[in-house]
């Protein structure tokens, strides 16, 4: 049904955005259709599979069960913000090195979830990684090489931090 629109202002990958949206428009559709950021994918549309995962103020959320208006005033991070057009983020690079992806459909959600995991715990144990990524389904890899990629990226990111400080 036609409905009145609302104005929302938010930051997406560091860039301020203002837009008119229908109140019922899902965040994932807003990102994909209005902003052209197609990295967040639609998988189950009921908040289980996690392929639509983005960060809202640093915390992972399911953008398929979040309305765009709920992101008003927030900072949203998507996979497109990880590397921009530059070099791959260590997580992306390790996913490639370890073949932590096959069809690639869950990958953006997994990467964003992994960002959150490593922000909370830069040195997780393998079981902690498995437990944390159990929020997101992957139908291809069986998770083993994803786990390896996250652990190796964590080690690289720790080394980079030590070198920098």
Partner 1 sequence: MTTANRAAAPPVRDHSAKRRWVGRSIRRVEDPKFLRGQGGYIADRITPGTLHAAVLRSPHPHARILGIETSQALAAPGVHTVITGKEAAELCDPMPDFGPDPSKHTWRCLAAEKVRYVGEGVAVVVADSRYLAEDALELIDVSYEPLPAVVDPERALASGAPLVHEALESNCAYERTFDFGDVERDFAEADLIVRDRLRWHRSGGQPLETVGAIADYDPGTGSLTIDTNSLSFTSYLFMVASTLKVPVNKLDIRPVPAGGSFGSKLFATKPAVIAGMCSRATGRKVTYLEDRIDNISNCDHHGSDRIYEVELAVMRDGTIRGIKIDTIDDYGAYIQFGMGHHGNALAQAVGPYTIGSVRYHVRAALTNKNQQGAYRGFGSEVNNWMLEQMVDKAAGELGLDPVTIRRTNFIRKFPHFIPTGNVYDSGNYDEVLDQALVLADYDHWRAEQKRLREQEGRYIGIGLITAQERSVFSATEFWFWFDQPGAPVTSTPESVTLKVDATGGITAILYSCAFWGNSPETMVAQFVAEEFDCDPYDVAIAYQGSRDGLPATGPGGSRTTVMLAGAVEGAAGKIKEKARRAAAHLLEIDPGDLEWADGGYQVKGDPEQRKSLAEIAIALHLFKHSFPAEMESGLDASKVFDHPYTTMPSADRKDLGVFYPFMGHACHIPVVEVDIETGAVTFLHYAAVHDCGTLVNPRSLAGHIVGGTAQGIGTALYEEYVYDDDGQLLSSSYLDYLIPTAVEVPELAIGHVETPSPYTPHGVKGGGEGGRMMAPAAINAAVNDALLPLGVRLTELPMTPERILSALREAEKTG
* E strand or H helix at 144: helix 144-164
Asked whether 27 and 37 are in contact (CB, 8 A), the reply is no
Q: Smallest distance, Å, CB 103 to partner 1?
A: 3
Contact present, 129 and 151 (Cβ < 8 Å):
yes
For partner 1, which residue of 5, 104, 119, 160 counts as binding (CB under 8 A)?
104
70 part of the interface to partner 1, by CB under 8 A = no
Distance CA 77, CA 75 (A): 7
Among 6, 83, 155, 156, binds partner 1 (CB under 8 A): 83
96 touches partner 1 (CB under 8 A): yes
Tokens linked to 22:
């229908």
**Residues that bind partner 1 in the complex, under the rule CB under 8 A:** 1-2, 22, 24-25, 32, 37-46, 48-49, 51, 78-80, 82-83, 88, 92, 95-99, 101-108, 111, 126, 129-131, 133-147
């Amino acid at each position: 049904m036609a409905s009145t629109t609302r104005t929302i202002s938010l930051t997406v990958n560091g860039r301020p955005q203002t837009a008119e949206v229908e109140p019922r428009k899902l965040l994932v559709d807003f990102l994909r259709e209005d902003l052209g950021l197609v990295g967040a994918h639609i998988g189950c549309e009921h908040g289980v599979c996690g392929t639509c995962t983005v960060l809202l103020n640093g915390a992972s959320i399911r953008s398929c069960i979040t309305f765009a208006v709920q992101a008003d005033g927030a900072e949203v991070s998507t996979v497109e913000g990880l590397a921009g057009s530059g070099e791959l983020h260590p997580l992306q690079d390790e996913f490639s090195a370890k073949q932590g992806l096959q069809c690639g459909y869950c990958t953006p959600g997994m990467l964003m979830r992994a960002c959150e995991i490593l922000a909370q715990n830069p040195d997780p144990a393998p079981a902690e990684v498995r437990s944390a990524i159990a929020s997101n389904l992957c139908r291809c890899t069986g998770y083993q090489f994803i786990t390896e990629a996250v652990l190796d990226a964590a080690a690289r990111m720790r080394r980079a931090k030590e070198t920098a400080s």
